[in-house]
Structure 1
Amino acid sequence: MSDSEPRMIEILRILSAHDKPIGSKLIAVELREKGFNLGERAVRYHMQVLDEKGYTERKGYSGRVITELGRDKLEKGLVYDQVDFVYSKFEEMIYLTDFNYMTQKGNVVVNTSTIYDESSINILKKIIESGLSVSPYINLNEDKSEGKIEVTTLCGTTIDGILLNEGISSQPQYGGLLKIEDYKPIRFEELISYKKTSLTPLDAFSSPNRTSVLDVIETGDGIIPANFRLIPGVGRKRTLDIINKLDHIGIGGVIGISDEGRDILGIPVPEGMVGIAIVGGITPFRAVQENGEDIDIKIAEEIRNFNTLSPITTKITYHLKPVEHDIQPKISFLLSKSWNLIQQVNFDIEKRKGDIVANVSYLKRDDLDETLNIMESLYNDNPKYINPYYKVLDHPSDDDKVGIATICSLSIDGILINNGVICNPKYGGLLELTEPPLFIELISYNGSTVDPHKIFIAKDMTRITREAGSKKILASFKEIPYISRDYAVDLLDTLDKIGLSIYKISKPRELTYNAKADNYNFGIVAGSGLNSIAAVREKGIDIHVKAIEKLMPFEKMDRL
């Protein structure tokens, strides 16, 4: 892709944010605000290219609009750019928040979701009355002709914006799942960093059965979505005062605030900083989803004037108890856990013997024959993209179940390192098999507690067994120092011949299927051992997906 591609993507973003045609003058102004120094003439050139590609359409002298093809391009976009855009979007929202809590006037950040059953409003109200929301202030916009209701709620990012207006820098760090026991917040169970992901963290955890908000309300035990940010320690006292004042006007959701440099809810807090946990703004909507209702959840979508919102209830009884600063085990991030397995890989390429890293997933023993048939058929149809190795294992405690081990792509990192080549796993991604293939989602291994491929499977984002249209498969992106390229390529070619699914080896500074390696490195794209497992799940077989589970001798594995 050319150097002008990021500018074109940004132009598409600007057009998508307007509901009427706009011209090059306005686009140039908005581009400058986003750090792109393009004059009107340059903008017109880029717009002409976008017209030719079918991404935009001229509307007389009024300007241009984005087409459906353009929206599709924007959605897939430059994923390497998108992983930075998610964080920058939140920074933009924080900056645009100008709400004055003294006058209760100004702009706030909102989430707008769509429900399709009026009874869902009662669930929303129930959760808000429990205090498991940022605010009771909402807006309901009913469209009776289409049988839907748009519900706008306050996003927790508003609090970051309010703090910034008071001169306190609040830095979003993680979105995740927080464990509650007896109404007491205990520890974050899962986390994803706001940086280096194309999915917002709470969206990544929005798949079914990940939260249990209703259980928290009814029994005091469960899992809720929550966010975590850091502020400078010197701002702690003032922040507490602001949060107290916000609480009195109906803006809250703060779960806990750490002491300076003290860990909280299992998250390490650096010296000189303070950690703040806030309930996820989508928490009431997750309760609706848990109840089996249809809902379209959107996160931190836009800026709205606070006066467009009104309280759905004035009766709020906080269910959660204060956070106790007892010592919780620090959360272990995926890459830290993975490196210890990677380090133990001792596969000998010449002898084709030795330990590799395996995923192990579990299913009913009665479904085993059908599962193996699906896996074999998948490999026969897609030998380039599917790793053929597997091993059937006994379940550790249930005779009615069996495990299926497949080769984890982190084995490749271990094999290269064992042969003197530095290889760093960078992203787990969802790869669409267009021509050329393109990553349409990426989540960094660094800063996540859960394997990205498990997230894509849980959200039903794969299309591996699809017969019509482009397939969407699981792949990982790794980077290797350029100085070792020749030797690394020889090793990778051999691994590909063995069947470890090496899809692409890039050149320096080359976008590799829409992903980008750091300077002085080159990228490789490898297939995931979970592709065959995801395919089994697509066929309706109940299989519990697990990743990066154990070491296993390669020579003891079977081949499809």
Structure 2
Amino acid sequence: MKMMEILRILYSKNEILGAKIISQELEKRGYSLGERAVRYHMHILDEKGFTEKVGYKGRQITKKGIDELKKGLIFDQVDFTFSRFQEKMYNVSLDYKKATGSVIVNISSINDLDSSKIITDVFKEGLSVSKHYNIVEKDDKTYIETVCGTTIDGVFQQQGIITKPLYGGLLKVEDYVPINFTEQIAYENTSITPLEAFTGHDNTSVIDVINNGTGVIPANFRIIPEVKKQHALAILDNLKTIGIGGVIHIGNPGEAVLGIPVPEGMVGIAVVGGVTPLCAAREEGYDLSIKLADGYAEYSNMINSSIAKNFPLKPVTYNNTTPVSFVLNKIYNLLSTVNFDIESGEGDVIVNVSFVDRNNLDTSLEILSKMYKSKPEFCIGNRYSLVDGPDNKVGIATICSLTIDGILTKHGISSFPKYSGILDIYGNSRRFIELISYKGSSVDPHEIFINKNMCELNVSGDSCKILASVHSVPYIARDKTVDILDKLGEYGFEVLNIGKPNEYTYNAKIEKYHFGYVLAGGLNPIAAIKKEGIPTDVKSIETMKNFNSFEEF
């Protein structure tokens, strides 16, 4: 997305621009990207032929770049996120014997002094990857750099240990004992970094963990070969002596760690998220712009919070560990339960059920009605149903787009959801600008996008950003699939696009010998309600419900 914005800036300015100007323009558009990071992105764009360097003046966009701008870069971003972590790991040069060399850092703006105090208090409590940090003044703004947990992977790699970061997510803690991961998404096949997806102020409770030992903190997870476990333990001991730690637990070969399964012959390692101190400030309502693994810092020059306490979490006991639930497992079971008949229009469909206060119900239904009538293609069916909820709340059930996969499955077609994303619509132009793979995720990515307020549902204009999903079907079944999808249109099931074999679908990459189709998210009407400021407990892929029990607008 950042590379797309750089191309947009170069195209709109139509002149040669340097990293400083591009960084300033990105800031205006809501992207906090320093000159060094801009140069990094520009180097990638140069290699792809989308931009070219003009002496010492800067860069200009090429014809290929203009063409790419029209198509979008999201298929690159999905692979780029994980590749960026791999590159960062490779460039770590930390020598733990001398405590010198480069480490990977997260960067966040902290222009409010109170937020700075909260962050440093977390360092003092020891709940971080490292007690070292930097305070940087730049362009009349104050930034804090914290050591990223991926630095540990970089040191492992330096020392010949194969390490593969798998997940980033949220870890439940009770009485200072780590219990299990409650949410996570995979590092691969996503355009948004896993911990970035979960760093909203409503997701974590770092301050509660510090004060009473119970709450939720960000954490990440990687695996290494079992034959390197002792070597890794020795490295971690050495890192601890120079102020880098945050290791929550190291498992035994093939043993699940905090609910996450580990392959045979591998060892799982969980580490506290390097952004944990920053999350504490967000919990207190401070609007921080957090950039994960966004740069490097010379470790020996960083501020040493020498008064920091020891890491506060206790050893894992496994008494209450619950296995992580991956959303695809739930999806496969619900798909297998769909029995909607395309001829009679009867049967069970998959539904999302989101809750609002009863006194907000009428307003919520007005918003739903407006969206269903003005933008039916942004919804799955023009129907809703009400469900009694707890504590004077009412559930609003909407049809989930995964119902389509279930219907196709019922007709002998292998149809599976591949990505959940944000579809950018501008006039007749449509392209995905964010994508998260369902594989490796414990939560429907659409919930993440809604909670991060990434939707822009403009029901009266021709420009908006909506929830949408990409589904994959073997190309041999394309004709039959098209016939069924056409028939489903009679019941309000809109399809945004049906691709051709081996073709990008709104810039989403489909595997060989398959074609993709794109559906609007069934949660778009709910996102519209939340966007209007109505408190909404968003729940997707919840249960099954008979199609005829829904009401039409």
Report the TM-score, using the length of structure 1 for normalisation. Answer: 0.87
Deviations along 1:435-458, one digit per CA (max 9) or x if unpaired, are 321111111111000001100000
Instruction: Quote the residue 2:499 is aligned against.
Output: 506
- Please state if 1:106 is matched with 2:106: no
- Please state if 1:401 is matched with 2:396: no
Report deviation, 1:208.
2.5
Distance 2:529 2:265 in 1: 49
Cα 1:16–1:276 shift into 2, 3 Å: farther
Distance 1:240 1:58 in 2: 45
Distance 2:387 2:467 in 1: 26
- Please state if 1:281 is matched with 2:281: no
Instruction: Quote the residue 2:30 is aligned against.
Output: none
- Contact kept, 8 Å, 1:394 with 1:401, in 2: the verdict is no
Alignment of 1:353-392 (within 5 A): 353-392=346-385
Distance 1:309 1:246 in 2: 15
Instruction: Quote the residue 1:544 is aligned against.
Output: 537
Distance 1:303 1:240 in 2: 24
Match of 1:97 among 92, 96, 101: 92
What secondary structure is seen at the aligned counterpart in 1 of 2:489? helix
Instruction: Quote the residue 1:208 is aligned against.
Output: 201
Report deviation, 1:538.
0.9
Distance 2:106 2:69 in 1: 21
Alignment of 1:282-321 (within 5 A): 282-321=275-314
Instruction: Quote the residue 1:329 is aligned against.
Output: 322
Q: Which moved more, 1:544-553 or 1:306-315?
A: 306-315
Report deviation, 1:404.
0.9
Report deviation, 1:178.
0.2
Distance 1:76 1:450 in 2: 29
Cα 1:75–1:224 shift into 2, 3 Å: farther
Instruction: Quote the residue 2:36 is aligned against.
Output: none
What secondary structure is seen at the aligned counterpart in 2 of 1:276? strand
Match of 2:467 among 458, 461, 474: 474
- Contact kept, 8 Å, 2:380 with 2:400, in 1: the verdict is no
Report deviation, 1:396.
4.4
What secondary structure is seen at the aligned counterpart in 1 of 2:116? helix
- Please state if 1:351 is matched with 2:344: yes
Cα 1:478–1:101 shift into 2, 3 Å: same
Instruction: Quote the residue 2:123 is aligned against.
Output: 128
> 2:341 corresponds to which letter in structure 1?
D
Distance 2:220 2:462 in 1: 37
- Contact kept, 8 Å, 1:436 with 1:513, in 2: the verdict is no
Q: CA RMSD in A?
A: 2.9
Alignment of 1:141-290 (within 5 A): 141-143=136-138, 146=140, 148-290=141-283
Distance 1:469 1:101 in 2: 55
Cα 1:185–1:17 shift into 2, 3 Å: farther
Q: Which moved more, 1:400-409 or 1:475-484?
A: 400-409
Distance 2:320 2:208 in 1: 25
Distance 1:113 1:98 in 2: 23
Instruction: Quote the residue 2:443 is aligned against.
Output: 450
Cα 1:298–1:488 shift into 2, 3 Å: same
Report deviation, 1:469.
6.9
Report deviation, 1:18.
5.3
Structure 1 unaligned spans of 5+: 22-29, 51-55
Cα 1:154–1:464 shift into 2, 3 Å: same
Instruction: Quote the residue 1:439 is aligned against.
Output: 432
Distance 2:71 2:478 in 1: 29
What secondary structure is seen at the aligned counterpart in 1 of 2:137? strand
Distance 1:397 1:110 in 2: 43
- Contact kept, 8 Å, 2:347 with 2:546, in 1: the verdict is yes
What secondary structure is seen at the aligned counterpart in 2 of 1:437? strand
Cα 1:260–1:76 shift into 2, 3 Å: farther
- Contact kept, 8 Å, 1:84 with 1:195, in 2: the verdict is yes
Match of 2:402 among 405, 410, 415: 410
What secondary structure is seen at the aligned counterpart in 1 of 2:497? strand
> 1:284 corresponds to which letter in structure 2?
P
Instruction: Quote the residue 2:29 is aligned against.
Output: none
Distance 1:66 1:468 in 2: 32
Cα 1:129–1:235 shift into 2, 3 Å: same
Distance 1:274 1:353 in 2: 49
Report deviation, 1:485.
0.6
Distance 2:389 2:288 in 1: 38
What secondary structure is seen at the aligned counterpart in 2 of 1:552? strand
> 1:392 corresponds to which letter in structure 2?
S
- Please state if 1:64 is matched with 2:43: no
Deviations along 1:495-516, one digit per CA (max 9) or x if unpaired, are 1332112100001122111101
- Please state if 1:559 is matched with 2:544: no
What secondary structure is seen at the aligned counterpart in 1 of 2:397? strand
Distance 1:413 1:376 in 2: 26
List, as ranges, runs of 4+ consecutive aligned residues in structure 1 with deviation greater than 6 Å.
73-76
Distance 1:209 1:162 in 2: 33
Report deviation, 1:158.
0.7
- Contact kept, 8 Å, 1:76 with 1:440, in 2: the verdict is no
Instruction: Quote the residue 2:457 is aligned against.
Output: 464
Cα 1:454–1:321 shift into 2, 3 Å: same
Cα 1:449–1:16 shift into 2, 3 Å: farther
Distance 2:321 2:459 in 1: 44
Distance 1:187 1:365 in 2: 34
Distance 2:71 2:305 in 1: 37
Structure 2 unaligned spans of 5+: 23-39
Report deviation, 1:324.
1.9
Cα 1:75–1:327 shift into 2, 3 Å: farther
What secondary structure is seen at the aligned counterpart in 2 of 1:108? strand
Report deviation, 1:312.
3.1
> 1:224 corresponds to which letter in structure 2?
I
- Please state if 1:139 is matched with 2:131: no
What secondary structure is seen at the aligned counterpart in 2 of 1:450? coil
Alignment of 1:410-429 (within 5 A): 410-429=402-421
What secondary structure is seen at the aligned counterpart in 2 of 1:245? helix
Report deviation, 1:162.
0.6
Q: Which moved more, 1:287-296 or 1:406-415?
A: 287-296
- Contact kept, 8 Å, 1:188 with 1:267, in 2: the verdict is yes
Report deviation, 1:387.
3.0
Number of equivalenced pairs:
522
Cα 1:413–1:469 shift into 2, 3 Å: closer
What secondary structure is seen at the aligned counterpart in 2 of 1:295? coil
- Contact kept, 8 Å, 2:179 with 2:318, in 1: the verdict is no
What secondary structure is seen at the aligned counterpart in 1 of 2:256? coil
Residue identity over aligned pairs, in percent, reads 45
Cα 1:105–1:17 shift into 2, 3 Å: farther
Report deviation, 1:75.
13
Distance 1:472 1:293 in 2: 26
> 1:112 corresponds to which letter in structure 2?
I
Distance 2:447 2:372 in 1: 20
Report deviation, 1:129.
1.7
Report deviation, 1:20.
9.1
Deviations along 1:9-51, one digit per CA (max 9) or x if unpaired, are 9x99xx9995599xxxxxxxx99x98x9x9xxxx7xx86xx5x
